[in-house]
Structure 1
Amino acid sequence: MCGIAGLFYPCLPKPIDPARIVAMSDAQAHRGPDGSGVWCVAGVGLGHRRLAVIDLEGGVQPMALPDQSLAVTFNGEIYNFREVRAELEALGARFATDSDTEVLLHGWRAWGPDLLARMNGMFAFALYDATSQSLFLARDRFGVKPLHYAELADGAIAFASELKGLLAHPLLRRAADFRAVEDYLALGYVPDDACIVAGVQKLPAGHFLLLQRGRSAPQPVRWWDIDFTRRAAGRTRELKAELIERMRTAVRSRMIADVPLGAFLSGGVDSSAVVALMAERSKAAVKTCTIGFDEAGLDETAHAAKVAQRFATSHRARTVGHEDYGLIDTLVAAFDEPFADASALPTYRVCQLARESVTVALSGDGADEALAGYRRHRFFAAEERVRGLLPSDVRARVFGQLGALYPKADWAPRPFRAKTTLLALAEGGAEAYARAVGVTTPALRDQLYSDTARAALDGYRAEARYVETMRQAPARDAIDRAQYADIRHWLPGDILTKVDRTSMAVGLEAREPLLDHRLVEFEASLPPSLRIRGGQGKWLMKKALEPWLPREILYRPKMGFVTPISAWFRHALADEAAALARAPLLLQSGWFEPRTIARLAEDHRAGRAEHGRTLWQLVMLERSLARLFG
Structure 2
Amino acid sequence: MCGIAGIFHCGTPKPVDPARVTKMCDAIAHRGPDGAGVWSAPGVALGHRRLSIIDLAGSPQPMASPDRRAMLVFNGEIYNFREVRRELEGLGARFDTHGDSEVILAAWQQWGPRCLDKLHGMFAFAIYDTERRELFLARDRLGVKPLFTAMLSDGSLAFASELKGLLAHPLLRRSVDPLAVEDYLTWGYVPDHRSILAGVEKLSAGHYRLLKHDAPPAGPVRWWDVSFADRRKDKAADLEAELLFHLREAVSSRMVADVPLGAFLSGGVDSSSVVALMAEVSSAPVRTCSIGFDEASLDETAYARQIAERFATDHRERIVSADEFGEIDRLAAMFDEPFADASALPTLRVCELARETVTVALSGDGADEAFAGYRRHRFHAAEERARAVLPQSVRSSVFGALGRAWPKADWAPRAFRAKSTFQSLAAFGEEGYARGLSVTAPELRNQLYRDAFRSGLGGYQAERPFVDLMRNAPARSGLDRAQYADLKFWLPGDILTKTDRTSMAVSLEAREPLLDHRLIEFAAALPENLRIRRGQGKWLLKHTMERYLPREVLYRPKQGFVTPIAQWLRGPLASEARAIARGASLARTGWFDSARISTLAEAHISGRSDHSRLLWQLLMLDRSLSRLGVV
Question: Which TM-score band applies after superposition, normalised by the shorter structure?
Answer: over 0.9
Shift of 1:244: 1.1
Shift of 1:407: 1.3
Structure 2 distance, partners of 1:368, 1:323, is: 28
Instruction: Confirm or deny that 1:384 pairs with 2:390.
Output: no
Question: Which residue in 2 is equivalent to 1:189?
Answer: 189
Instruction: Confirm or deny that 1:286 pairs with 2:286.
Output: yes
Letter of the 2:55 partner, please give it: D
Structure 2 distance, partners of 1:101, 1:309, is: 38
User: 1:221-262 deviations in whole A, cap 9, x for unaligned?
Assistant: 000000101111211111111111100110000000000000
Instruction: Confirm or deny that 1:569 pairs with 2:569.
Output: yes
Letter of the 2:514 partner, please give it: L
Question: Which residue in 2 is equivalent to 1:30?
Answer: 30
Shift of 1:568: 1.6
Q: Secondary structure at the match of 2:399?
A: helix
User: Retained in 2: the 8 A contact 1:133–1:212?
Assistant: yes
Letter of the 1:440 partner, please give it: T
Alignment of 1:465-504 (within 5 A): 465-504=465-504
Structure 1 distance, partners of 2:299, 2:128, is: 48
Question: Which residue in 2 is equivalent to 1:218?
Answer: 218
User: Retained in 1: the 8 A contact 2:322–2:563?
Assistant: no
Shift of 1:318: 1.9
Question: Which residue in 1 is equivalent to 2:119?
Answer: 119
Question: Which residue in 2 is equivalent to 1:97?
Answer: 97
Instruction: Confirm or deny that 1:325 pairs with 2:339.
Output: no
Letter of the 2:332 partner, please give it: V
Structure 1 distance, partners of 2:568, 2:320, is: 12
Structure 1 distance, partners of 2:349, 2:470, is: 35
Question: Which residue in 2 is equivalent to 1:4?
Answer: 4
Question: Which residue in 1 is equivalent to 2:557?
Answer: 557
User: Retained in 2: the 8 A contact 1:228–1:480?
Assistant: yes
Structure 2 distance, partners of 1:285, 1:542, is: 24
Instruction: Confirm or deny that 1:601 pairs with 2:601.
Output: yes
User: Retained in 2: the 8 A contact 1:267–1:304?
Assistant: yes
User: Retained in 2: the 8 A contact 1:322–1:572?
Assistant: no
Question: Which residue in 2 is equivalent to 1:339?
Answer: 339
Question: Which residue in 2 is equivalent to 1:533?
Answer: 533
TM-score norm. by structure 2 comes to 0.99
Question: Which residue in 1 is equivalent to 2:154?
Answer: 154
User: 1:314-358 deviations in whole A, cap 9, x for unaligned?
Assistant: 111223334321111111111000000000000011000000000
Structure 1 distance, partners of 2:492, 2:375, is: 19
Q: Which moved more, 1:283-292 or 1:25-34?
A: 283-292
Structure 2 distance, partners of 1:505, 1:316, is: 21
Q: Which moved more, 1:606-615 or 1:485-494?
A: 606-615
Letter of the 2:119 partner, please give it: M
User: 1:244-285 deviations in whole A, cap 9, x for unaligned?
Assistant: 110011000000000000000011100000000001111111
Question: Which residue in 2 is equivalent to 1:249?
Answer: 249
Structure 2 distance, partners of 1:517, 1:97, is: 27
Structure 1 distance, partners of 2:483, 2:251, is: 23
Structure 2 distance, partners of 1:11, 1:547, is: 60
Shift of 1:573: 1.8
Structure 2 distance, partners of 1:294, 1:423, is: 37
User: Retained in 2: the 8 A contact 1:36–1:50?
Assistant: yes
Q: Secondary structure at the match of 2:548?
A: coil
User: 1:291-324 deviations in whole A, cap 9, x for unaligned?
Assistant: 2223322221111111111111111122333432
For structure 2, list consecutive stretches of 5 or more residues without a partner in the other structure. none
User: Retained in 2: the 8 A contact 1:295–1:564?
Assistant: no
Letter of the 1:386 partner, please give it: A
Letter of the 1:374 partner, please give it: Y
User: Retained in 2: the 8 A contact 1:175–1:629?
Assistant: no
Alignment of 1:395-544 (within 5 A): 395-544=395-544
Q: Secondary structure at the match of 2:10?
A: coil
Q: Secondary structure at the match of 1:99?
A: coil
Structure 1 distance, partners of 2:241, 2:55, is: 35
Structure 1 distance, partners of 2:10, 2:178, is: 29
Letter of the 1:193 partner, please give it: H
Question: Which residue in 1 is equivalent to 2:311?
Answer: 311
Q: Which moved more, 1:295-304 or 1:183-192?
A: 295-304
Shift of 1:14: 1.0
User: 1:598-623 deviations in whole A, cap 9, x for unaligned?
Assistant: 11111111111111111111111000
Structure 1 distance, partners of 2:282, 2:444, is: 51
Q: Secondary structure at the match of 1:346?
A: helix
Alignment of 1:57-96 (within 5 A): 57-96=57-96
Question: Which residue in 2 is equivalent to 1:206?
Answer: 206
Question: Which residue in 2 is equivalent to 1:260?
Answer: 260
Shift of 1:557: 0.6
Structure 2 distance, partners of 1:308, 1:602, is: 44
Structure 2 distance, partners of 1:294, 1:385, is: 42
Q: Secondary structure at the match of 2:547?
A: coil
Question: Which residue in 2 is equivalent to 1:351?
Answer: 351
Question: Which residue in 2 is equivalent to 1:240?
Answer: 240
Q: Which moved more, 1:598-607 or 1:485-494?
A: 598-607
4+ long deviations beyond 3 Å: none
User: Retained in 2: the 8 A contact 1:329–1:623?
Assistant: yes
Question: Which residue in 1 is equivalent to 2:135?
Answer: 135
User: Retained in 1: the 8 A contact 2:323–2:568?
Assistant: no
Shift of 1:128: 0.3
Q: How many residues align?
A: 630
Structure 2 distance, partners of 1:66, 1:515, is: 33
Question: Which residue in 1 is equivalent to 2:43?
Answer: 43
Letter of the 1:385 partner, please give it: R
Q: CA RMSD in A?
A: 0.9
Shift of 1:564: 1.4
Structure 2 distance, partners of 1:608, 1:401, is: 24
Structure 1 distance, partners of 2:216, 2:69, is: 23
Question: Which residue in 1 is equivalent to 2:371?
Answer: 371
User: Retained in 2: the 8 A contact 1:293–1:563?
Assistant: no
Q: Which moved more, 1:110-119 or 1:574-583?
A: 574-583
Letter of the 2:340 partner, please give it: A
User: Retained in 2: the 8 A contact 1:9–1:156?
Assistant: yes
Q: Secondary structure at the match of 2:323?
A: helix
Instruction: Confirm or deny that 1:52 pairs with 2:52.
Output: yes
Structure 1 distance, partners of 2:105, 2:53, is: 19
Question: Which residue in 2 is equivalent to 1:227?
Answer: 227
Structure 2 distance, partners of 1:378, 1:570, is: 32
Instruction: Confirm or deny that 1:176 pairs with 2:140.
Output: no
Structure 1 distance, partners of 2:601, 2:314, is: 43
Q: Secondary structure at the match of 1:533?
A: coil
Instruction: Confirm or deny that 1:297 pairs with 2:303.
Output: no
Structure 2 distance, partners of 1:68, 1:286, is: 41
TM-score norm. by structure 1 comes to 0.99
Question: Which residue in 1 is equivalent to 2:584?
Answer: 584
Q: Secondary structure at the match of 2:231?
A: coil
Letter of the 1:468 partner, please give it: D
Shift of 1:570: 1.7
Structure 1 distance, partners of 2:387, 2:297, is: 34
Letter of the 1:40 partner, please give it: S
Letter of the 2:102 partner, please give it: E
Structure 2 distance, partners of 1:516, 1:317, is: 28
